Amino acid sequence: MAVKRKPIYVLVLPQFEDFFHSFYTGEITKGVNLAASRLNVDFLVHITDRRNHEAWLDPTLLDRKYVDGILFADIDSDLEIVKKAIRRSMPCLVLNNIIDEPVNYIAINNYQAAVEVVEAFVKQGHELIATIAGDLNTQAGRSRLDGYRDALKKHGLGPNKAYIKYGGFLRTPARQAAGELLRLKNRPTAVFAASDVMAMEVLDVARLKKVSIPSELAVCGFDDNPLRQNSSIGLATVSQPLIEMGRLGLERLYQISQGHARLPVKEVLEARLIKAESMGKQDHENQRT
């Protein structure tokens, strides 16, 4: 008599620069692991070539004899790769993407979080607000940039094209972007960096240029990355529930594969602004130690 195997799910992780040091990747994987332990299922991590989406799904991954569902950590705007799996009757769920079509997802409200950062700067009296955007191949990167732009427009502040730089969530491009912003004749008084890694580069460039934080330049990052604890000044950030997103992702995928979920699954989790010294005037009620 054949022994029934444990359910097996695949977590698809597109590889990028600094992948193995990525806070996002680590937190998502922790969340998936928590759910897998609770559900008594196995999960496999499938690290893919980010540029070659065709290689993301090989025939074995799409075979229900071996795999019970696929969890995409991100899709780099390639919804077709998910539809390919769906056409093969493979249960799927996408993380960190809000999708209008009937595709299962659990995402974080990156757009609203970015709006709240800009609103906080405006409330403090800033008008010259710049941003260093993340990777625009990701929906998170685009949503944070859109939130920044729309919040400025709401207050009649632009945006000024010279104040929009692109860092791709990476250190070196972010450092270059910070240098360009601080060399402007009419330099910004506040910078919203779309990740903490990039925000810390802004702080370091400002230090080298003897630009005082926060009196001359207020800075806010995004991610609540533990690395920010190494910053010479308390870095304001946005805390997003990445572990929770990973955990819920696998739990919902399990329910889908067992036929116990109401489809499509669509859940949006809220992020939270954490004010700190780098942002200037602090709201102690919202500050976290």
CATH architecture group of domain 8-108+241-270:
3-Layer(aba) Sandwich (3.40)
Q: Is the four-CA dihedral 217, 220, 225, 226 of positive or negative sign? A: positive
Residue 69 pLDDT: 97
Residue 281 pLDDT: 64
Assigned CATH for 110-239+274-279? 3.40.50.2300
Residue 18 pLDDT: 67
Provide the token pair at 68.
Answer: 């019970």
Tens of each residue's pLDDT in the chain, 289 residues? 455 789 999 999 987 666 667 888 999 999 999 999 999 999 999 988 777 777 788 888 888 889 999 999 999 888 999 999 999 999 999 999 999 999 999 999 999 999 999 999 999 999 999 999 999 989 999 999 999 999 999 999 988 999 999 999 999 999 999 999 999 999 999 999 999 999 999 999 999 999 999 999 999 999 999 988 888 899 999 999 999 999 999 999 999 999 999 999 999 999 999 999 999 865 433 433 3
Q: Residue type at 33?
A: N
Residue 288 pLDDT: 37
**Comma-separated ranges of CATH 3.40.50.2300 domains in the chain:** 8-108+241-270, 110-239+274-279
Q: Residue type at 84?
A: K
Provide the token pair at 52.
Answer: 């070659």
- Cα(205)–Cα(36) distance, integer angstroms: 42
- Cα(93)–Cα(220) distance, integer angstroms: 31
Residue 56 pLDDT: 83
Q: Which residues 6+ apart lie within 8 Å of 20 measured at CB?
A: none
Residue 1 pLDDT: 47
- Cα(281)–Cα(10) distance, integer angstroms: 45
Give, in degrees to the nearest 5, the angle at Cα 15 between 74 and 60: 75
Residue 3 pLDDT: 57
Q: DSSP secondary structure string, 65-103?
A: TT-SEEEES--TT-HHHHHHHHHTT--EEEES---SSS-
